[in-house]
Amino acid sequence: MTKIGILGYGNLGRGVECAIKQNDDMELVAVFTRRDPSGVKILTESAKVASVNNILDYKDKIDVLIICGGSATDLPGQTPEYAKYFNVIDSFDTHAKIPEHFANVDKSAKDNDHIAFISVGWDPGMFSLNRAYANAILSDGADYTFWGRGVSQGHSDAIRRIEGVADARQYTCPVESAVEAVRSGKQPELTTRQKHTRECYVVAKEGADLARIEKEIKEMPNYFADYDTTVNFISQEELDKNHKGIPHGGSVIRSGKTGWNRENNHIIEYSLKLDSNPEFTGSVLVAYARAASRMHKEGMRGCKTVFDVAPAYLSPLSGEELRAHML
């Protein structure tokens, strides 16, 4: 059994908890929270809820700590800190800051004889893996990543901060004609606007100026200005009924050429269609927790990413079983 701790019990923490239930070789030992533990109800009857202040009591009771905090403010501090005491995994997704985060976590893990995986999920994570594999195979080619149709939490939050907005949900949508052009092997150059559209469902407060809200959304720099954005005002009831889920997904496509004279085209496409972004991310984290535990037992130390993990470590099957049934 691989013994797991979860730090942070939001959507992602619950997703990890559900994934552990689906894997007979994994056991949830405890959920650690910054809140008052008595107010946190988890689903797993056999697991404890403990204050993060008491996490060191679990130092020898946990094989891997899955850190389910946010990338902006939680993980840059948490992952290096807890890599002192545990093997850890996070889903750090601020692409630009990955090298810095890697260096911090690597030092902490190595100094304390632990293994630490960062940026595990689907992007970064499975999408990154597929970019790396596809680039290694088709060295002459172009990469495309399309996201959606899915909920962007960051964009939804940005809309909610506008005056007069009570609630909002934003979907990132790939432009189907752009996806098809890429799949055809044409290797088009695509602008931001040509790749994705943004679809907003907004609940306005009573008496709010809808035209102003729509204009503020559509002109918001970074978030919406570079996209074709549609704004739909709906009631809170409708939002709760039709937009409660957290679906996401997307495709990583590499279009490449082979042949002595580059005469042949190839398309490698990896696609995800996810009903629940946090539950899928949680499932990826749990598979990598299995790998972290095994690799630590084999003596591997320091910070790793998905690029450093041989696929066999992720599977509950033995090498013999993998070769017989999956190869």
Give the H or E element holding residue 293. Answer: helix 277-297
Nearest-approach distance from CB 126 to a second copy, in angstroms: 7
Crossing angle, helix 75-82 and helix 98-111, to 10 degrees? 20
Does the protein bind a second copy through residue 99 (CB under 8 A)?
yes
> Residue 322 corresponds to which tokens in the numbers above?
């993998």
Q: Which of 187, 197, 230, 276 binds a second copy (CB under 8 A)?
A: 276
Nearest-approach distance from CB 282 to a second copy, in angstroms: 8
- Give residues 108-137 in contact with a second copy (rule: CB under 8 A): 119, 124, 126, 128-133, 135-137
Mark the segment that binds a second copy (CB under 8 A) among 73-81, 149-157, 205-213, 302-310. Answer: 302-310
Q: Of 147 and 223, which has the nearer Cβ to a second copy?
A: 147
Mark the segment that binds a second copy (CB under 8 A) among 2-10, 91-99, 154-162, 202-210. Answer: 91-99
Nearest-approach distance from CB 47 to a second copy, in angstroms: 13
Nearest-approach distance from CB 307 to a second copy, in angstroms: 4
Q: Is 239 exposed, middle or buried (0-12, 13-18, 19+ CB in 10 A)?
A: middle
Nearest-approach distance from CB 1 to a second copy, in angstroms: 15
Mark the segment that binds a second copy (CB under 8 A) among 52-60, 169-177, 221-229, 271-279. Answer: 271-279
- Give residues 141-200 in contact with a second copy (rule: CB under 8 A): 183, 185
Q: Of 31 and 55, which has the nearer Cβ to a second copy?
A: 31
- Give residues 278-297 in contact with a second copy (rule: CB under 8 A): 279-280, 282-284, 287, 290
Contact 205/168 with Cβ under 8 angstroms? no
Q: Round to whole Å and give the CA distance between 47 and 224.
A: 43
Mark the segment that binds a second copy (CB under 8 A) among 63-71, 148-156, 166-174, 307-315. Answer: 307-315
Alpha-carbon distance values, 306 to 42, 90, 113 (Å): 29, 11, 20
Sheet holding 302-304, edge to edge: 48-51, 26-33, 2-7, 64-67, 87-89, 115-117, 302-304
Nearest to 129 by CA among 267, 301, 254: 254
- Binding pattern to a second copy, positions 25-64, x when CB under 8 A? ------------------x---------------------
Nearest to 219 by CA among 232, 235, 202, 231: 231
H helix intervals, 116-225:
126-137, 153-160, 176-183, 192-195, 210-218
Count interface residues toward a second copy (CB under 8 A).
Answer: 70
Give the H or E element holding residue 66. Answer: strand 64-67
DSSP 125: B
Contacts of 300 (CB under 8 A, 6+ apart): 115
Q: Which of 3, 155, 270, 292 binds a second copy (CB under 8 A)?
A: 270
Q: Round to whole Å and give the CA distance between 38 and 16.
A: 20
Contact positions toward a second copy, by CB under 8 A? Answer: 15, 17-19, 21-23, 43, 95, 98-99, 102, 119, 124, 126, 128-133, 135-140, 183, 185, 258-260, 264-276, 279-280, 282-284, 287, 290, 305-312, 314-316, 319-320, 322-324, 326-327
